[in-house]
Every structure is written in C-alpha cells, then in structure tokens.
Structure 1
C-alpha cells in the first residue's frame, strides 16, 4: 500500500483513499460506497469521518490572493450564449493599475461550478498581469451552491453539448473584450482541463495557448484541429487521466502541435488545489510558475 504524506496535518493518508476520492468526485462511485471503502482502512488515529473530512476541500485554506487585494479589481460579468445554456456569468478580474490592454486568461473550474479555489486562481492570474475570466457553468441554475457535492449533482444535470458551447462563447467573449490585447490563454483543472483541450480542438482560432491541468483530451477526431501551443500538467499518481496521455501525445506529435508535458512526482489528481489534502505545494508552485511563464511567452503582442 503506497501512501501520500502531503496532508497539512500530522497524519498520513493512504493512497487508496485518494484514488477512491477521485472515483467519488467523478461519479464512478456514490458517497455510500466511498464512505464504506474508507471504513475498511485501518488508519491509526483516524476515524472514517476524520479521514473523509481530510479528503474534502476546505476553502478557507485556498485564498492566496484576497478579493480586496489592492493590486487587482474583481467584478462579475454576464453575457448571452444562444447556442449554450442561454447566458453565462463569470468572475472577471483585472490588474488594478491596468493602462490600455493586456493578455487574457480563461480560467475553467472543475466539475462542480465556480468554487472559491478557482476564483482565487483567477485573482492569481490578474496579480501576474493578465485579465482573467472564470465562468460559472452553474449560473443558469443559480450559481455555485457553496457545496461541492451539490455542485457536482447540479453540473451533471446540464446538457454537455450546451456546456461546451458556453465555454466556447466565454473564450470568444474574453478574447473580444475591450481590455484584451487580442491574445487569449486558457487554464483549467480536471473537467476544466478537458475544457481547455476541447477549446484548443474546437476553437483553434480563438485560443492562443492552453494549459490543461490533469484533463482528459478532446475527442480523437477533433485533435487534428489543434494549432495552439499546449502545456500539459499531470500528476504521477493520477492513473485515470494518465491512462489517456500516450494516445493523446501520439496525436499531438502526428499533427505537429507545439506541446510540453510536465509530470509531477508523487502528485495526485488535483495536486494544484490548495483546499484539499491532495495539494502538493512544491509541485503546485512550480506548475503555476511554469504556467505564467508559458502565457507570458505565447500571449505577448510582440509575437
């Protein structure tokens, strides 16, 4: 049994628990099965409830850039999406001292709506000098409900084709925004990583650079359309997503896509998310540093 020592408290969470949480978070098992499996683990000093609490997100830990940080200005913007769910609302963040235009980054959430962690990522992007927009795909259902379990249930009820159209609309909206310099990058996590891969394949004229974190690829027949450079961020212990990588890489090579893949040692799916026990600070910091460097390179107006 392998273990992971990245939890912020003074105990070790067995790797099986991380794997089961990934299955639970992605709808492969229900909560009852998840909790039953956790109960089967003999972990010294931890009850099933303590172990479950350690695996679930604590968003109080996720704020790296305050919403009232003097270097940024945050608001909400809404626009129509006639081919999607009807309308899109998202969290819009810009550098407070912005004069003129700047490159833009679309920040795409996981499979549970626009939670506080993703909003913080948008603020981090603005802090780095970009304008950022993080759509909430749950907007037409009232928005992120404040609870990840409920958010996942809500997102599963949505028409997947219309959801993808909303993200395509979001990319177009942000690229044509009056504050955007005409260059658009996209970063997404988990489901959001899939969305970035999908946008690169379905809207290649819109996305100028993409950074999918542990996201599955777009449908195979669409991959030939990819033109933008990609930085693929993967965790070594993420068996589910990593199983898709070899075939995806073959298609990227066959289509001469400019890509780089970084595999983070002893990191699980979700290692960038600092609200959960899967967080690996060293890997998360390095991955974010690489992300910003990548966007600075590819979204410069000098190119």
Structure 2
C-alpha cells in the first residue's frame, strides 16, 4: 500500500515509509519504529493506519540499517548507536513533511510508537508541541537523565504498557503519568494485566504477542486519534 519517500531533515535527506488511505486523504500520524528498525512490522502498522483513514509516515531512524527479529544483540547495538539529536531531527523533519503532504488534512497530527518508538513518542510530543496533539506510546518511555521538557507537551496522551516488562517497568510509566498530570497534561496510562513487552507485535520475537488484546486496542487507539485529529 505504501511507498518510501524522502524528506529534508535539517538540511540532510532522510527517508520514511508513507501509507495513504484509499480515500486519498486523512489526518496525519507519525509511526515510530521499534529497535529493529523500519521493518515489515512497522510498515504494516502504517498500512493498517491507512486502512483506518490516516496518512501514516514512519521515518527510517536507522538510515537503512535493520536487525532481524532473531538479532536482539544487533537491535540493541543499533538503538544504542542512534544519536538522540539525529532521531529528534529526523522525526521533526517527518512531522513537517507529513503536515505539508497534499493528502494530509488539518494542521495537527498524531504519533504512535512501540518499544524504542514508544519512548521516542514522548520526546516528539515534547519537541513538537506546535503540531503533535495526540500521542499513543506503547511500552516505552524516556529513562535515565536524558529527559525531555514534559512541560512543553500540548498533546493528549493515551499510553499502553505491559504488566511484566523488564525493559520499561510499569512503575516508571505510572510515575511519569503522575508527573504529567501534575503539569496539567491530559494523559491516561493503562497497564494491561498479564502482558509482557511487545504485546502488540505480530512478529512475536519475544513470544509475547497478545492477538486478542491487540485486536481490541486497535479500534480503541485509532478511535482516540480520530477524535483528537478529526
């Protein structure tokens, strides 16, 4: 359904996967990759968002590099080697390209991210509050000392996290929810009982895919995006 496109990222060419609905137009949504890279799973997410009426753009944050789903060490290395400033720059460039695209309706867009992309979803919401009005992070949030300016967030946030997650423990998600509510942010975090990290991922690399839950959450979060974006 989609195609690779190029866009400018602070004077440097970047690429991403763009999927457009059959109607030819719709609200825009940025899709942020897992630590594997811009793989078939993330492209399928963009395609499915297009099937649900969105113009979806997934920037290639690894610039062509990719880890297979049985290469966890390589995925970790790629994630650790990703310069944060380049990731922020490429995501911001994707935001501008998506807003400017002839198929995108409205001036505001949403963002959806998974795992590493869930963590980056918070960062994009904080760095581009001028455009991001709806954010859906799945099992990921910023950790350590390198935190964004959460007070800048203007988006409404619907987050989904796993009960059993060594990568991003649910306690951290709850703490972040409390912090953001203290700042006046409209945020709702759900920790799904009995789930493990990557419960939305059909590739099932961690043997944690919960198909029944995933199929329930798709209409929930896409309905939220339509409500916020029009």
Give me the TM-score of the superposition, normalised by structure 2: 0.89
Show the counterpart of 2:215: 285
TM superposition shift of 1:282 = 1.5
Give the structure with the larger strand fraction: 2
Of 145, 149, 160 in structure 2, the residue corresponding to residue 222 of structure 1 is: 149
Shift of 1:148: 5.9
SS in 1 for 2:208: coil
Q: Could you tell me which residue of structure 2 aligns to residue 208 of structure 1?
A: 133
Deviations 1:259-282 (A, max 9, x none): 212221110010000111210112
Q: Is the 8 A contact 1:217 1:248 kept in 2?
A: no
State the Cα distance separating 1:205 from its structure 2 match: 0.9
Give ranges in structure 1 of 5+ residues lacking alignment.
1-72
CA RMSD of aligned residues (A): 1.9
Matched with 2:118 is: 193
CA contact (8 A) 1:224 1:251 kept: no
1:171 corresponds, among 95, 99, 112, to: 95
Change (3 A) 1:155 1:252: closer
Aligned residue in 2 for 1:46? none
2:125–2:155: 8 Å Cα contact kept in structure 1?
A: yes
Deviation readout 1:160-180 (Å, 9 max, x if unpaired): 221221112212221222211
- Aligned pair 1:107/2:35, yes or no? no
Equivalent positions of 1:14-33 (< 5 A) are none
Contact 1:204–1:225 (8 Å) recurs in 2: yes
Classify 1:114/1:221 alpha carbon distance in 2 versus 1 (closer, same or farther; 3 Å).
closer
Name the counterpart of 1:262. 190
Task: Report the 3-state secondary structure (helix = DSSP H, G, I; strand = E; otherwise coil) of the residue aligned with 1:208.
Answer: strand
Displacement of 1:249 in angstroms is 1.4
- CA distance 1:294–1:230, change in 2 (3 Å): same
Query: How big is the shift at 1:217?
Result: 3.6
Q: Which has the larger radius of gyration?
A: 1
Which of 77, 80, 83 is matched with 1:159 structurally?
A: 83
Count of residues paired in the alignment:
222
Deviation at 1:146, TM superposition (A): 5.0
Answer whether contact 1:135 1:170 (CA < 8 A) is retained: yes
Which deviates more from structure 2 when the two are superposed, residues 280-289 or residues 240-249? 240-249
1:62-73 matches, cutoff 5 A: 73=1
The CA deviation at 1:144 is: 2.8
* 1:49-64 matches, cutoff 5 A: none
With structure 1 as the length reference, what TM-score do the two structures score? 0.68
Inter-partner Cα distance in structure 2 for 1:286 and 1:162? 34
| 2:158 paired with 1:236 | no
C-alpha deviation, 1:192, in angstroms: 0.3
Q: Which runs of 5+ in 2 are unaligned?
A: none
Counterparts of 1:4-153 in structure 2, within 5 Å, are: 73-82=1-10, 86-98=12-24, 101-139=25-63, 142-144=64-66, 146=68, 149=71, 150-153=74-77
